[in-house]
Amino acid sequence: MTRSIWKSTAPKTNFPALNGNLETEIAIIGGGITGITAAYLLARSGKKIVLLEAGTISGGTTGDSTGNLYAMVDKRLHHIQSKWDKETAARVARSRAQAVNLVEELVNEHKIDCSFKRVPWYLFSETDKKDKTIEKEIDAAANYNLPVEELHELPIPVKVSTAIKVEGQAQFNPAAFVRGLAEKIDSTNCQIFENSEVHHIEKEEELVLSTSSGTVTAKKVILATHTPKGIYGLQTALYPYREYAIAAKLRSGNFPDGIYWDTEADFHTSLRTYSKGNDNYVLVLGGHHKVGQEDDYSRFFGKLEQNARRYFDVDEIEYKWSAQHYKPADGLPYIGESSDENIYLATGFSTDGLTYGVLSAMILNDQLNDRKNEWSDLYKASRFTPIKSTKNFIRENLNVAKQYLKDIPGKADAESFKEIAAGQGKVVEVDDEKWAVYKDESGQLHCQSAVCTHMDCIVDWNDAEKSWDCPCHGSRFEATGQVIEGPAFSPLDKRNMNPKE
């Protein structure tokens, strides 16, 4: 069982499930940092809101994130500058800094207990060679008035050849922040429902959102779901990836706070420290790969632990988890009204979702209040940028096309149910149909179609998370078929046959 340190240490929530039919001005699907911040801002402005969360507040990607907030981006500012231009990169940095400032303001205003603190951000290289990435980032950061300092050693026990430091970034417990903010939302203007998964959106004169126990009719809808639910052309410009994390409890050592990014390492791309009571932790993150396209998912946790023990005096690995992110084709997220009138999106955050989630809420709040927002054109969801997108678009969509070949007859993980061990899942071909078959620890078989309910791609078994993952557009399902995340609305179709082994 994997679980993040944030979800384990954040306060519990107790919002009801939707039961009945409601009408509202704006419906928000998703109770992560994007949805809750948007609900807070919109309710404060007087809008009537209903927010529907499939599980618990911050129980998805927000609670599985790094807990870092910064003006930089995961692909580096100099990449944004080279793909776009200096002015665009400068606006990205300024807009993200504004979002971090809002988080700090909300924490202070409402005294949210989420361990928020300003910390420096570091980018470092362990190689002896001069690192051009760091050189380019120094130049880029200087262009945008970020306080850059060049270093040759770090305050953590990692040997580096060169590094840079940017002060004034931030860290917090994202699950605690979002749950704390949810409690401060104006309840006269906003109703929050947990365990209220939306199964369908009917586009009539107004928009009707259906759950298993009720409906919400709204004039406008925000899909704060990380990737749009349902089928959108934009999904051809969004590429799903996963990354892994561990929280290692330290036997000794109390290292300064900071966000540490490695330019070279394959299996750890970032480090950060965290304290819980008298216990000190180091979080190690990395192991980047396309969703549903690995043979051995568990190996990523092993490599992260190996690296943690290489650098730190580790007592034990108390938490391990993974998170999903969607890379945008042209390097910038998509925020604003979608191709469907009155449906608003916030997606394509890559691994920068906490900061972009807050920024999305700021932009959508202005748009839905008919106010001009200085960043809305920069991140416009309906933009068309073929020159900046073509290379990634072709490569990633060829990859998707390749995944559909898994539906060729005769291609399966196992020939019979006898090959499936307890706690394991395999794709088995039954009467020329692909089945996703899971055998639980008691030996009971759970059979469902292996065809993803989003766009008919064949799912893959994830041995680390005990889930069925779609390699095409990133939908993920529990071992027994229920939707975990992604664009799919519906669970995997059940198969009732339970053959003898």
Whether 245 and 135 share a structural domain: yes
Whether 313 and 432 share a structural domain: no
* Dist CA 177 CA 113 (whole Å): 7
Work out the average pLDDT over 20-34: 98
Return the CATH number at 382: 3.50.50.60
Q: Is the pLDDT of residue 392 over 80?
A: no
Phi–psi pair at 297, nearest 5 degrees? -75, -35
* Dist CA 146 CA 158 (whole Å): 24
Whether residue 218 contacts residue 24, with contact meaning beta carbons closer than 8 Å, is answered with yes
Whether 227 and 344 share a structural domain: yes
Work out the average pLDDT over 322-344: 92
Whether 198 and 227 share a structural domain: yes
Cβ contacts of residue 53 below 8 Å, gap of 6+? 15, 30, 31, 35, 59, 192, 193, 194, 195, 196
Whether 334 and 363 share a structural domain: yes
* Dist CA 429 CA 437 (whole Å): 10
Whether residue 184 contacts residue 111, with contact meaning beta carbons closer than 8 Å, is answered with no
The predicted-structure confidence for 259-310, as pLDDT tens digits, reads as follows 998 886 666 678 999 998 889 999 999 988 999 999 889 899 999 999 899 8
Residue among 190, 188, 212 at smallest CA distance from 199:
212
Phi–psi pair at 237, nearest 5 degrees? -110, 15
Boundaries of domain holding 426: 408-485
Number of structural domains, the chain? Answer: 3
* Dist CA 303 CA 251 (whole Å): 20
Residue among 297, 287, 233 at smallest CA distance from 262:
287
pLDDT band at 402 (very low <50, low <70, confident <90, very high): confident
Tokens representing residue 433 in the block: 């149909």
Res 403: pLDDT: 81
Whether 182 and 263 share a structural domain: no
Return the CATH number at 423: 2.102.10.10
Q: How far is CA 210 from the centre of its chain?
A: 24
Pick the last residue of a domain from 305, 324, 343. Answer: 324
Q: Is the pLDDT of residue 75 over 60?
A: no
* Dist CA 360 CA 366 (whole Å): 10
Whether 424 and 471 share a structural domain: yes
Whether 160 and 46 share a structural domain: no
The helix or strand, by DSSP H or E, that contains position 282, with its residue range, turns out to be: strand 279-290
* Identity at 60, one-letter amino acid code: G
Whether 413 and 453 share a structural domain: yes
